[in-house]
Amino acid sequence: MAETINIGEIAPRLSKDILKHFLWGIHPKMDDNFECSNEKHLGEGGKPKATHPGDVVFLYQDPYLGKTVYLHTDLKSYAADSINSTRLRSAFKSLCMTIDCARGSDSWRSKYSVDESEAYEVRGLLFVHNHDNGYDKPFYEAIDKIDLQALPVAPGTQLHYLGPKDIQRLYSIANDVLRLKGEGELPQTYTFYYPDLVMSRRQGDVWAQPATVETLTSPYIIIKHAATDSQSAGYIIYYNAPASSPEEFEYFLDSLSRFQMLESGERILLRVTDPDAPNDLKSIFLTAQKKYVKAWGFDPAREEILAKIQIERITSVTSTYNPEDMGWRE
């Protein structure tokens, strides 16, 4: 039983160590239940639920929605052979019912200090960590085996999930952010960059914007930062796509142009996160630069801008949270 408790502490510890670097807030109330208000929510043996679980609630201000997003999170820490569609279906089913109640619950709002005068929404997040680092399958394969249509998802409910590889990648990015701060490449304060889109406009202050849950699983995570003592102001972009072809990078460069970043004159540092990215990564990127310049009619100004973009790969770091270590209390 003690070992099970120690394993269960890994996911909360890991989530806090990672997500603070993406500027998420965390409510201090953890590991607490709130009342179920729907008699149709059934638990073990078909009995109506009395309460719903609450591991942790993360929160951030969404720069496009202009409202606070509360992520009521179910933290799971499984061994590799325990990550299967049956267990995930059960976790999603429980989370569906939990968020259905949380969205309209006075008890939930009171417990997690929600100001009803503010604009906000409540979503669910399933955070699945693999504590023995033995899960090497694509997580979506287990997700695809779940009949999502059969889950009790209430209208308007949004659920998100982070699987083992997502968490591993975010852990590596968080460690890279720490290293760049230590080397003076990145100041202690920074913001995640959100360009104005055709159908959406960014709201609020441009600085101290968090990475949304959608951003964490997007092809690129863009950090905008001010100048440091040793580095000029600019952008650090964590590139989460495979980085395997010039065409892929051509699309990326075109995205930077549409985001009004190439014309800014500020430094752009590209950080590739995929540990399986090709060995000739820089050659592939150079080919993409040449093809993109050609498409622009060999514009010398555009060529000069592209030549200044630096591309590197980050060091992939494996979390080493150990169940035995979790048993120590200091």
Q: In Å, how far from its chain's centre is CA 105?
A: 27
What SS3 class is residue 167?
A: helix
Helix (H, G, I), strand (E, B) or coil at 109: helix
Number of Cβ atoms within 10 Å of the Cβ of 68: 17
- Mean per-residue pLDDT over the chain, rounded: 89
- 156 burial level (CB within 10 Å; 0-12, 13-18, 19+): exposed
DSSP state of 31: S
Give the pLDDT confidence of 137-168 residue by residue, as tens digits. Answer: 889 889 999 988 889 899 989 999 999 999 99
Give the burial string for 235-261 (b: 16+ CB within 10 Å, else e): bbbbbbbebeebebbbebbeebbebeb
pLDDT score of 101 more than 70: yes
Q: CA–CA distance from 215 to each of 63, 143, 210, 298, 314 (Å)?
A: 11, 20, 9, 33, 18
pLDDT score, position 1: 38
8 or 16, higher pLDDT = 16
- Confidence at residue 302, expressed as pLDDT on a 0 to 100 scale: 82
Stretch 100-119: mean pLDDT: 93
Whether the Cβ atoms of residue 72 and residue 57 lie closer than 8 Å to each other: yes
Percent of all residues in the chain with a pLDDT value above 70, rounded to a whole number:
92
Tokens representing 28 are 């201090």
Residues in the chain: 330
- Closest by CA to 124, choosing from 102, 148, 155, 149, is 102
Query: What per-residue confidence (pLDDT) applies to 23?
Result: 96
Mean pLDDT along residues 33-58:
89
**Does residue 324 or residue 124 have the better pLDDT?**
124
Summarize pLDDT for 59-98 with one digit per residue, the tens.
999 999 999 999 999 999 888 999 999 999 999 999 999 9
Between 264 and 279, whose confidence is greater?
279
pLDDT reading at 329 higher than 70: no
CB–CB of 191/223 below 8 Å? yes
Closest alpha carbon to 127 in 12, 253, 21: 12
Please give the share of the chain, as a percent, with pLDDT higher than 90: 66
